[in-house]
Amino acid sequence: MAIKLVFALLLACSSARAQDPGLPQFDDLNPPPAAAEGADGQQSGADSEELLQIRDRLMTSLFFRGEFADSIIEAGLQDQFVTTTGLETYADVKSALLEWIEKHPDEAAKAYFNIKRHGPAEEKGPKTVTEEWFKFNPVFLRLIAAVNKASKDSSIPEEEVSLIAARLFQGRETAAEAGAPVIAAGRGGAAPQGAASASALEYADYKLDPDAAGREARKIAGLLEGLKAALEEDRDAAGLKLSGPAFELYKKFLVALSALKGRRSITAAESKNLEELRRELRRKLAALTAHCAQNRLRARSSALPAGAPGAGLLLKEALELLSAFGALSGSEDGDGGARRLYALQQAADFWTFKYSAYMRLALVKSRIGKVRFSCALDRIVYEVQAKLTPSAGYPRLKKELGAEAADIAGALEGVAAGDYERAAKFAGGSGDALFARIEGIERKLAAVEACAKRNRRLQFLFWDAFLNPPGLEPARYGARAGNKLLR
C-alpha cells in the first residue's frame, strides 16, 4: 500500500553559532546579517580576519577543500556552485567542486563562513513523501508454516521454503542473499544504510572502505551462486543470454577490486571505473534475478489445480508479479531498480509461501476426493455398516473425510487470499492445532484406504478368482474391468 505523509517544514534559523569548524550541514548561503557588518557596510575586522584564514586554508590544504566539497554534496547544495548536468559519479561532482573552490577562493571562503555562521536552515514549503510498504500478519505466516510442516509432500523444496520463511519472519535477507548490492562510498566508515545514504549511493568517492568492498564482493558472490542454481535448473535460452554478460562483468568487477586491495585512497578515474562497474553489474544481476523469478512463477502457477478453491486468486497474483518483474527487467534504473526488485522479491516470497501451503492442503483434499469403493464387496460392506452400525469405523471415517474436504476448501481460499480468519477457522486457531488436524486427516485416509484394499483382496480370494476373472467392478454407470488384487 502507498502512504503519503505530508508535513510542513517551516523556516527556523537559529541564532546560535556553530562552534565546530569541521563539516557542518548547511542550506543557507545568504550574506551575514547586518549586525555582523560595520557602519560602512563592510564586514567587521574579526570576521574579515576569519574569512582570510578560511581562504588561506582553502588555497593551501587539499584535505580542507575535500572536506568542504564533501559537506556541500552531503547537504545537497552542489547545484548552487557547479553545473552537475552529465556528472554521474560522486567523484565527478567532487572534482568539479574542488576546481570551483580552487578558482574562486574568495567566494568559497564566504560560502564556508556564511554556512558556519548560520548553520542549517530548514527547507521551505510543504514536502510530500511517498513510501510503498506492506506488512505480513505474523499469525497467518505461522499458520502457513504449520501447513508446510504438517504435510510430507511438497511441490517446493524444503530448503527453499525454509529460506523464504526465514526472510518473511526475520526481515531482510542475510548479506549473502540480498538482491540489492551496495558498495560503501564513505570516507573509511561503515557501509551506508537506508534512505539517509541516498547521496552516497549516487556517486563513488576518492576513498574506499576495504571492509565494505569485501562485504560487497561476498554479497554478490552469494547472489551469483543462487542464480547459477536457478539457471542450471531452467536452462532456457533467455537466461543463458542474460547470464553470460553478467558473469563476465562480475570478473571485471573482481579484477578492479583486486587492483585496489590494501588501499584506502583511490584516484578519481579508479573511483569512477569501480562505480560504473558496480552499477552495471547491479543492473544485470537485477535483470537476471527478475528473469529467474519469472521462470519460477510461471512453472508454479501452471501447476495450480484448475477450478480449485482459491486457485484463481493465486494465479491472478502470479500474473501481476510476472508483469511487475517483466517491467523491472527492462528498467535502466540501477539503484531504484534494486530497491523495487527487493520489494518484488518479498512479494514473490510471500506468494511462494502461500503457494506451498496451498498445494499441500490441495494434495490432502485431492486424496480425499480420490477415495472410491475398490470393488463390489467394498460397497456392500460400507452400505451394511452404514445402515446397521453407522458409528463403525469405516462409514464414520468416510463421512468425516467428506466434512474435512469441505473445510479444506474454505482453508484453501483463506490461504490464497492471505485471510487469517478463514485459514484459522480450519486450523483451530493456531499452528499446533492445524498440524494436529492435518495429521488426523492423513491417519483417517490411511485407515479408509487400508479397508478398501482389504475388501478388494477378500473379494478376489472368494469371488473373482473363480467367478469374475475379467475383474468387473462397480462403476457409476454399469461396470468396469480393472486390476483385481493390487490396487
* Tens-place pLDDT, residues 6-24: 223 222 333 333 333 333 3
What is the predicted pLDDT for the residue at 429? Answer: 56
Q: How close are the terminal C-alpha atoms of the chain, in Å?
A: 52
Q: Do 339 and 377 fall within a single domain?
A: no
Tens-digit pLDDT profile for residues 311-366: 888 899 889 988 888 887 655 555 556 677 778 888 888 888 788 878 888 888 88
What is the predicted pLDDT for the residue at 330? Answer: 57
Q: Is residue 295 part of a domain?
A: yes
Q: Is residue 327 part of a domain?
A: yes
In terms of residue numbers, what domain contains 282?
Answer: 173-191+204-357
Q: Mark which of 308, 338, 357 sits at the end of a domain.
A: 357
Alpha carbon 229 to its chain centroid, in Å, reads: 19
Q: Mark which of 357, 381, 412 sits at the end of a domain.
A: 357
Q: Do 321 and 393 fall within a single domain?
A: no
Q: Is residue 198 part of a domain?
A: no
- pTM surpassing 0.75? no
Q: Do 402 and 310 fall within a single domain?
A: no
Q: Do 333 and 307 fall within a single domain?
A: yes
Q: Name the percent of the chain lying above pLDDT 70.
A: 56
Tens-digit pLDDT profile for residues 172-214: 333 333 333 333 333 333 333 333 333 333 334 456 666 777 7
Q: Do 372 and 450 fall within a single domain?
A: yes
Q: Do 279 and 312 fall within a single domain?
A: yes
Residue 84: pLDDT over 70 = yes
Q: Do 233 and 379 fall within a single domain?
A: no
How far is Cα 86 from Cα 64, in angstroms, rounded to an integer? 26
Averaged pLDDT score across all residues of the chain: 68
Query: 443 is written with which cell numbers?
Result: 491417519
Q: Do 394 and 343 fall within a single domain?
A: no
Q: Is residue 379 part of a domain?
A: yes
Domain count, the chain: 3
Q: Do 431 and 332 fall within a single domain?
A: no
Q: Name the percent of the chain lying above pLDDT 90.
A: 0
Q: Do 213 and 237 fall within a single domain?
A: yes
Q: Do 117 and 220 fall within a single domain?
A: no
Tens-digit pLDDT profile for residues 250-298: 778 778 777 777 776 777 777 777 778 877 887 877 788 888 888 888 8
Q: Is residue 136 part of a domain?
A: no
Q: Mark which of 357, 372, 404 sits at the end of a domain.
A: 357
How far is Cα 450 from Cα 375, in angstroms, rounded to an integer? 13
Q: Is residue 138 part of a domain?
A: no
Q: Is residue 196 part of a domain?
A: no
How far is Cα 189 from Cα 210, in angstroms, rounded to an integer? 10
Q: Do 27 and 94 fall within a single domain?
A: yes
Angle at which helix 237-259 crosses helix 210-234, to 10 degrees, equals 160
Q: Is residue 178 part of a domain?
A: yes
